[in-house]
Amino acid sequence: MNETRMDTGTGRVSLAAVEAPTVPPPRGACDCHVHVFAPGRHPYAADRAYTPGAAGTGDLNAFLARLGMARVVLVQPSVYASDHAALLEGLRTLGPDRARGVAVLDGPAGLPLDLTALHEQGVRGVRLNLAVRGGDEPDAASQLLRARDRIAPLGWHLQLHADIVRVAALAETLAALEIPVVLDHFAGLRAHPGAATAQPADTVVALASAIPLYVKLSAPYRAAPDGTHLDELAAFTRRLADAAPDRLLWASDWPHTGGHGVRQGGLDRIEPFRSENAGAALDRLRGWLPDPADWQRILVDNPARLYAFPVPGAPAPSPS
């Protein structure tokens, strides 16, 4: 399978590169990280960093069907800042049996959001981006603690986008949060020789073994931008699966922003999406973790517990 191509068209999302995985995922499988973009109905923030094309819930449904995914988690994209209208519309369209959301905390002009209202509409966590706006370590730790104080009463999790070196530096704070934490994109690992056994990777494996810290096996093209050293991602994934199999999630990162690689032009220029073959990514992950029990946990059981998806005939699970 050809896994990656750059979409050089108008920026409209395409499924041309997406093939079904060789082995269908188990029933109830969940893609734990996607974005929806609906600029026709929900304009982007004026101070955004880039301008993506359209990728709505209809496109998303077609993508999920291609992969055989039953459930999905919508993550607030940066181009909408704290305007959650597109995300909430997506949650309504997909329905509570299929979809959950991850929001951001800062409201318009710094006003607090109504988190209870977001919870009622399917949001189950918030995302902090420490890769772009993290500040120094004391400031980053303060951000984590403030977010914890706001979301803990709702039973939400904290999703963290950060480089693995920063994650390791924040280990003491993360261990003290006492709420579930989710690390984006292989915990922010950057693949290079020895990365899977370096100190930051050791720290993440230890944290996942000790506290409710989850790692998304998502967007390998971000961890290994040139497609090399995938063996380091494989080794890191196996270490996590051996140490903490109940703390792994899978996600596609659809619709794969960043088609230019280095962002070019002004905000009036639509940035194309990457053409990623998520079916091939699933096949490769199955090659790394061939045990069906791991597959069931990563795609079904772990996300059902973390995001409190309903189980027929049983109460909704609580995250742990």
Query: pLDDT at position 108, please?
Result: 52
12 — pLDDT class (breaks 50, 70, 90): confident
CATH number, domain containing residue 167: 3.20.20.140
Lowest mean pLDDT among 12-16, 68-72, 89-93, 304-308: 12-16
Query: pLDDT at position 8, please?
Result: 37
Asked if residue 313 belongs to a domain, the reply is no
Query: pLDDT at position 313, please?
Result: 42
Percent over 90 (pLDDT), the chain: 76
Query: pLDDT at position 284, please?
Result: 96
Query: pLDDT at position 226, please?
Result: 82
Average pLDDT of the chain to the nearest whole number: 89
6 — pLDDT class (breaks 50, 70, 90): very low
Asked if residue 40 belongs to a domain, the reply is yes
Asked if residue 315 belongs to a domain, the reply is no
Please give the Cα distance from 6 to 17 (Å, whole number): 10
Lowest mean pLDDT among 67-76, 107-116, 156-165, 242-251: 107-116
Q: Quick one: tokens of 147? A: 């977010």
Query: pLDDT at position 320, please?
Result: 54
Query: pLDDT at position 3, please?
Result: 38
Percent over 70 (pLDDT), the chain: 88
Asked if residue 319 belongs to a domain, the reply is no
Asked if residue 320 belongs to a domain, the reply is no
Asked if residue 214 belongs to a domain, the reply is yes
**Dihedrals φ, ψ of 32, to 5°?**
-95, 10
Query: pLDDT at position 314, please?
Result: 46
Structural domains of the chain, count: 1
pTM: 0.91
Asked if residue 272 belongs to a domain, the reply is yes
Q: For 206-228, how does the pLDDT look when each residue is reduced to its tens digit (9 = 90+)?
A: 999 999 999 999 999 899 988 88
Domain range spanning residue 90? Answer: 4-306
